[in-house]
Structure 1
Amino acid sequence: MSAASQLHFKSFNYTGQAPGPRVIVMGATHGNETCGTEAIRRVMAQIDDGQLAIQRGSVTFVPIVNPLAYAQGTRSGDRNLNRDLFPKANPQDFEDRVANWLCPLLAQHDVLLDLHSFNAAHGEPFVMVGPPDNDGPLEPFSHMAQERALARRLGVRRFVTGWMAAYGGGVQRRTRNSGAGAAELETVLRYGVGTTEYMRSTGGYALTLECGQHRDPQAPEVAYRAIINTLAFLKVVDAPEPQPLPFEEMEALQMVVVHDKLDAGDRFTREWASFDAVSEGEQIGVRADGTPVTAEFSGRILFPDTNAGPNQEWYYMTRPNPQFGRE
């Protein structure tokens, strides 16, 4: 019997006596991102000790979403849980089994706060936010105002939108180049769905908060503050309402385009980190055949992946999103 088969899934629910929103807060969706786990346990201890009371609605805490990856101290168990997150009738790996437990749990809630950290050597916390309200085929949504109001109260100043649109554009380009049909396109697009995208698909809204570098001692504090602010803003607890970050202090970025690594020999010309500024025409990398790769506009680079394989996402480009919060 495998060690993975001995693992179980665990969540903790606190329900108040008055009606209110159903909130779920998660940590360790990726097993080596433990700041959320620490913060959740800190908040639960305060509730259990009577320092914090759940007055309205409910909050469910999942300190460790992926117990296999957490036990291994790795990002993933068998694969990245935060892709292709759907219930599976015939689960093929451990993350499929997580999804079969997690997806119905998410669907029972109204609001998700998913706490993450990042691997880059430097960088400040940021929050990934969903699309504007729309009824389109890629990511229909109707809670933009509530989601963005919460995002502005998490305690960070940097906001990133456009994940599914940029990811979907890259998928469409790859499938056109490969001659794939519509069915394959839909299958590959599903791979872009993680916890927040699945939560939105059930009618709720959701935020992914990147709390800092994995080992940054401040990352658990960022996660803790975000949890408390979320519960206070949604009036699940009686606490002073956190004030929104002023527009003039915000840096909002829109993911615009993803560039793929085409050959194993493609390489960056320097060690890039997420949110490094690039100028239009600046060289970012070089293709295996010597062709320079340059920025098509001035903006910031996001998720540069030196270890990407051929035909995988190599880096994203973002540009300022001045309309964020004002739509």
Structure 2
Amino acid sequence: MIHDVSFTVPGDSGAPLRVPAWRLDSGLPGPRAHLQAGVHGDEIAGMLVLHKLLPRLAEAAARGLLRGSVTLVPQANPLGIAQFRQGRILGRVHEPSSRNFNRGFPGSAAQERPLGNLAVWQKGLAELAAQADIVLDLHTDDEALPYLYLHQCFWPAGEDLATALGAEVAILWEGDSDGAFEEVVIAPWLAEGRFEGRLVSTVELRGQGDVSDALAERDADGLYDFLRARGLIADPVQLPEWRGRAVPIGQMETVFAPTSGVLVFERELGDLVQAGERFARVIATPGDPASERALVAPQAGLMLTRYRDRLVPQGAIVAKFTGSEPSSTWAGGALDP
């Protein structure tokens, strides 16, 4: 049976906004999972994935295959999806407070009476996931291969998720992640020191433009198989061995635009680029050959992400690469601001 566990938050105008959420509870012993998408309101792929996954889980429950419970929040951020400007959604940052929607979750969750609608929303999501053993937060990058963020305590146990979703890279973090949703979930687990059977991950489902039935069905299949492998669905599956790369976050290389201008990539996502090898250029003043600035890889690695637009502002993240040595620019926290 599907239970409506939606909650409301005050919108920026004061009018109540609904966060739609559904829970399937078997009443039987088993894992408790929480899956959500769209914490950044402009990252759409996961919304379609969970839209396709929900009826499959309902069918499994109807067939008596569900163990434990699963909560789905397919469109988690009504504040973000309301921020349309000139035909484009600006869902990464909460405009009234200028705060990234996926930062500050621990502080909001700790407030007995949250101050401001952003904190009310963050606390509501944190409470909805609080009893779960498995928590997946679905995001997308600009342009990217599929990849995962996981705390290092979940590795290599989290290889099953990477395998099921076809993720080519797992980025392993420690310390803190600048208050992302993942951090508020893991905090009590770290205090207990108990991780068996638990997992929390930020899942990056490629890029913002990668929204299609074919990709969503592939990812829904992957999530379904992962939940089977974890015992939430009593239909066992043997996942193949993962053949991707696990990279400590401090070894990830982030390349920034040295100037604004026309961005031209000369290598593709997934390409292995050698140290010092040119992978893109920025033309600051079209018409002036002397204005071209070549961008090179700081160390050998896989091109994991790329800037989506082809007119880039100075200081924007142009690309991220895996690395095998500590990055000279690593300063702690999350990879993105």
TM-score, scaled to structure 1: 0.69
**Identity across aligned pairs (percent)?**
20
Compared CA separation, residues 263 and 37, structure 1 to 2 (3 A): closer
* Residue 57 of structure 1 pairs with residue 68 of structure 2: yes
Tell me which residue corresponds to 2:321: 317
3-state DSSP of counterpart to 2:29: strand
Indicate whether 1:13 and 2:23 are aligned: yes
Partner of 1:186: none
Residues 151-175 of structure 1 deviation map (CA, whole Å, 9 limit, x = unaligned):
32x241512223x46xx8xxxxxxx
Go from structure 1 to structure 2 and tell me whether the alpha carbon gap of 1:76 and 1:101 turns closer, same or farther (over 3 Å shift).
same
1:279 pairs with one of 274, 279, 283: 274
Residue 179 of structure 1 corresponds to none
Aligned residue runs from structure 1 range 173-252, under 5 A = 191=178, 193-203=179-189, 204-212=198-206, 213-241=209-237, 243-247=238-242, 250-252=243-245
Q: 1:74 and 1:214, CA in 2 relative to 1: closer, same or farther beyond 3 A?
A: farther
Between the two proteins, the alignment pairs up a number of residues equal to: 281
Partner SS state of residue 215, structure 1: coil
Residue of structure 1 in register with 2:121 after alignment: 98
Which sections of structure 1, spanning at least 5 residues, go unmatched? 133-140, 169-188, 322-327
Letter in structure 2 aligned against 1:251? G
Rounded Cα–Cα distance in structure 2 between residues aligned with 1:35 and 1:81: 17
**Correspondence for 2:41:** 31
Gap change, CA 1:32 and 1:44, over 3 Å in 2: same
Larger RCO, structures 1/2 (Cα 8 Å, 6+ apart): 1
- The amino acid of 2:139's aligned partner reads H
Q: Which residue of 2 aligns with 1:80?
A: 100
Aligned to 1:298: 300
**Alpha-carbon deviations, 1:46-70, whole Å to 9, x = none?**
4545655453211111111112223
Structure 1 residue 35, shift from structure 2 partner = 3.3
Change in CA separation of 1:270 and 1:129 when aligned onto 2, cut-off 3 Å:
closer
TM-score normalised to the size of structure 2?
0.67
For structure 2, which runs of at least 5 residues remain unmatched after alignment?
Answer: 1-10, 190-197, 285-290, 326-337
Give the Cα–Cα distance (whole angstroms) in 1 for the partners of residues 296 and 25 of structure 2.
53
Q: Give 1:7 deviation, angstroms.
A: 0.8
- Name the Cα RMSD after superposition: 3.7
Contact 2:259 2:315 in 1 (8 A): no
Kindly provide the CA deviation profile for residues 109-158 of structure 1, in whole angstroms up to 9, marking residues without a partner as x: 111122334442xx65x2314243xxxxxxxx3x4343223332x24151
Q: Deviations over 1:255-310 (max 9, x none)?
A: 52444648654885636664343222113457999886532322123334477766
The one-letter code matched in structure 1 to 2:37 is G
8 Å contact kept, 1:157–1:245: no
Are the equivalent residues in 2 in contact too, given 1:10–1:62 (CA < 8 A)? yes
Give the structure 2 partner of residue 324 of structure 1.
none
Alignment partners' CA distance in 2, 1:37 and 1:240: 26
1:33-182 mapped onto 2 (5 Å cutoff): 33-48=43-58, 51-53=62-64, 55-71=66-82, 72=84, 73-76=89-92, 78=94, 79-88=99-108, 89=111, 94-120=117-143, 124=145, 126-132=146-152, 141=153, 143-152=154-163, 154-162=164-172, 164=173
The verdict on how the C-alpha distance between 1:291 and 1:224 changes in structure 2, with shifts beyond 3 A counting, is closer
Equivalent position SS for 1:237: coil
Q: Flag the 1:262–1:33 CA change in 2: closer, same or farther, 3 A.
A: closer
